[in-house]
Amino acid sequence: HGLWPQYSLIQYPTYCKNVSFSVDKLEPIIERLHKHWFSTQEKDEDFWKHEYEKHGSCMFNEMTEFEYFNKTLDIFDLVISDKVYEKYKESDGKILIPLSLDFKFI
């Protein structure tokens, strides 16, 4: 349900840097976010803030909230349109898709 670095299948960094979040900076992609990256348990804005602070702060290349969410949505579009997810789907339904540091599928 997002984008973040991982050390292994079960280990990943969290809250790596102190980042600030402003939903206003997401305005150019807000409709895409509401459509493809929404929360079923809380306000979308709270969910996005959590995702950016927990995972976006750990990206190898420092990214603004707009860059982080826009890149993730672009990757999502490729995963869906090219059916990349089929290659990585586990029997339990989990899908972990490895990307290089320049966001290319491995």
3-state class (DSSP) for residue 60: coil
Distance CA 68, CA 56 (A): 6
Q: Please say if the pLDDT value at position 91 is more than 90.
A: no
**Residues forming the active site:** 1, 51, 55
Model pTM? Answer: 0.88
Rounded Cα gap, residues 61 and 87, in angstroms: 26
pLDDT tens digits for range 5-24? 888 888 999 999 999 999 99
- How wide is the angle at C-alpha 22 spanned by C-alphas 17 and 64, nearest 5°? 50
Specify burial of residue 94 (Cβ count, 10 A radius: 0-12, 13-18, 19+).
Answer: exposed
Q: Express each pLDDT in 45-66 by its tens digit.
A: 999 999 999 999 999 888 999 9
> In Å, what is the CA distance from 69 to each residue of 17, 58, 74, 81?
17, 13, 9, 18
What's the pLDDT score for residue 85? 87
| Mean pLDDT rounded to a whole number for the chain | 92
What is the tens place of the pLDDT at every residue in 20-34?
A: 999 999 999 999 999
